[in-house]
Amino acid sequence: MNLINNIVTVGGWTLAYRISSFIRDIAQSYILGAGLFADVFSLSFKFANSLRKMFAEGAFNASFLPIFSNSLKDKGHEEAQKIASQILTWLILMVSFLSIVCLIFFRQIMSGFAAGIDPSTEKFEHLISIGKVCSPYVAASFLVAMFGGILNTLNRFAMPAAVQLILNGSVIAALFLGPFFFPSTAYTMAWATFLSGIIQVLILWINVKHCGFNIGFDFSSKKNEVKKFFKKLLSGVIGSGVLQLNILMDFAILSFLPTGAVSYFYYVDHVNQFPVGILGIAFSTALLPPITRAINAKNNNIAQKQMNLGLLFAFIFTLPTAVILMTLSELIVGAIYGRGNFTPEHVAAAAPALVAFAFGLPAYMAAKMFSTAFFANKDTVTPFRGGIISIVINLLFIVLLMPCLKHTGIAWATTLATWGNGIYLVSKLKMRCKIFVDKYTLLECAKQLLISAIMCGTIFVMGDLLNNLTIPGAGDRNIRLLWLTGTGGLVFWLVGKSAGAFSFMKEIKALDQ
């Protein structure tokens, strides 16, 4: 398997998804601004989307993919198909039951999730109505994850990554159609979210069928692999969805702050999710199958090599991205959202939260790499414990920072919790997985960090020059942003090339061959 090609395939489609997300957010901020309906839709969508990422993208893939992959390799096509059918059957029954219970008690669930909103207000009623429409998207996401996992195991990475675009395409269309059908565009966006989940399931199911797997209902006696899957799914939920669980808690606490705080947090979180989504999803999707195979073959040297090189490859993008987001936060937020009903005051209020989120990017990527190693080793307990530690850290710093920093304090709490999780996982890596971050990787990471610091200094110096020199268009926000990011990126590449920071790429190519 070609690691770089798979990362590029998944990352390329995820990049397209993130760009379409920006288009969606730009249109949403322009039309809804940071008012009541923006807050309500942000809460409803984040509730559904975070559950999707926590259960489906994280725990589900980590629990299902190794079991299906091993069954296909060791027991053949028919047995793997039977196991997948049994998992599908019990999964649909479980998800249907939970969805019905959720809808029946949705008012009570939202009273807990958004406890800061008075249940007697119009804002809460809109939250219930819009949230009920968005929530079934979580149920569809389980099937999307399952069919996508089957295709990934068969080295077909493009379609599972490509179907993500359906969500944003549907919501963008809804933004412009909304005023003709509902009291607010937010309602149309909720229905578009619901319908996009159904469309994604159908497309992936058809693709799986074309690959020769007829996955259907199977009520026969459950196989051991099926029982093992559901046990791992439960313990893997917190371990693989730490960031999402913390963000869910963050949004619950944000509901206590004045109107607009939820929207600020939502918008800058999406900016931060751009590199997180592209790199995090691409690396975890592309790395899990080869590391799983290496560990199953008891070839820890190859597994360690894969993880260390993956870590370097991730950091070479993550560190300069974090520097740009932190040093140019207000320019970036203004360039993306600063128009229409999203005023300059909104931009100034949202930007500090982006600085906080960006500081946690390297920790998030490291935790993603380490979690992949644990999951490949069929260990969901260690990431689970890391998740608990992260949640405790998040709550502690929310209590300490929110009173003075408001929504920005909550962003910092999330970042510090991510660092805590990453540090815990790396401390347990050698003991649990028999692999570790070697000295070469640590030295290369230190080199990348130093180059990123040089890049940061360059951006500050260049900013001062733009203030003092007469450069065409330097006063324009977007042109200024292009000047600074372009200069910073060029310096990172030139210094990195001179220092040999990209030499590990040759090792990745050699490993692929």
In degrees, to the nearest 5, what angle opens at C-alpha 405 toward C-alphas 40 and 332? 70
CB 279 within 8 A of CB 317: yes
The whole-angstrom separation of Cα 204 and Cα 304 is 32
Residues ≥6 apart with Cβ < 8 Å to 427: none
CB 274 within 8 A of CB 22: yes
User: Helix, strand or coil for residue 255?
Assistant: coil
User: Helix, strand or coil for residue 328?
Assistant: coil
Residue 149 has which token pair? Answer: 């996992």
Residues counted in the chain? 513
pLDDT digits 0-9 by tens, 102-136:
889 999 989 888 888 989 998 999 999 999 998 88
Q: What is the pTM of this model?
A: 0.75
Which has more confidence, 24 or 476?
A: 24
pLDDT at 395: 92
pLDDT at 285: 59
Element (H, E) at 244: helix 242-254
Lowest mean pLDDT among 57-66, 143-152, 320-329, 393-402: 57-66
Which has more confidence, 321 or 467?
A: 321
User: Helix, strand or coil for residue 110?
Assistant: helix
CB 235 within 8 A of CB 381: yes
The whole-angstrom separation of Cα 169 and Cα 165 is 6
pLDDT at 474: 47
pLDDT digits 0-9 by tens, 343-402:
889 999 999 999 999 999 898 888 887 877 787 777 777 887 888 888 899 999 999 999
Average pLDDT on 483-488 reads 91
In degrees, to the nearest 5, what angle opens at C-alpha 355 toward C-alphas 167 and 171? 15
CB 354 within 8 A of CB 329: yes
Kindly indicate the confidence band of residue 510, based on its pLDDT and cuts at 50, 70 and 90: low
Rounded to 10 deg, the angle between the 439-468 and 477-499 helix axes is 140
The whole-angstrom separation of Cα 187 and Cα 128 is 11
The whole-angstrom separation of Cα 56 and Cα 163 is 15
pLDDT at 509: 62
Residue 216 has which token pair? Answer: 């259907």
The whole-angstrom separation of Cα 144 and Cα 403 is 40
Q: Which amino acid is at 251?
A: F
Residue with tokens 């559904």: 48
Half-sphere exposure of 189 (CA within 13 A, CB side): 25
pLDDT at 388: 85
pLDDT digits 0-9 by tens, 179-200:
666 667 888 888 999 999 999 9
pLDDT at 275: 75
pLDDT digits 0-9 by tens, 11-23:
677 778 878 888 8
Which has more confidence, 244 or 336?
A: 336
CB 231 within 8 A of CB 205: no
CB 144 within 8 A of CB 56: yes
pLDDT, averaged across the chain: 83
Residue with tokens 């159609």: 177
pLDDT digits 0-9 by tens, 403-437:
999 999 999 999 999 899 889 988 888 777 677 78
In degrees, to the nearest 5, what angle opens at C-alpha 322 toward C-alphas 320 and 325? 110
Burial degree of 25 (CB within 10 A; 0-12, 13-18, 19+): buried
Task: Return the closest-CA partner of residue 341 out of 478, 175, 116, 180.
Answer: 175
The whole-angstrom separation of Cα 438 and Cα 305 is 9
pLDDT at 357: 93
Kindly indicate the confidence band of residue 439, based on its pLDDT and cuts at 50, 70 and 90: confident
Spacing of C-alpha 130 from chain mean position:
23
The whole-angstrom separation of Cα 14 and Cα 162 is 7
Task: Return the closest-CA partner of residue 136 out of 180, 77, 216, 201.
Answer: 201
Domain range annotation of the chain: 3-437, 440-513
The whole-angstrom separation of Cα 209 and Cα 474 is 55
Q: Which amino acid is at 479?
A: I
CB 207 within 8 A of CB 199: no
Average pLDDT on 286-296 reads 67
Average pLDDT on 54-71 reads 75
The whole-angstrom separation of Cα 498 and Cα 493 is 9
The whole-angstrom separation of Cα 137 and Cα 160 is 16
CB 308 within 8 A of CB 439: no
**Phi, psi values for residue 215, rounded to 5°:** -85, 120
Q: What 8-state DSSP symbol labels residue 54?
A: I
CB 54 within 8 A of CB 246: no
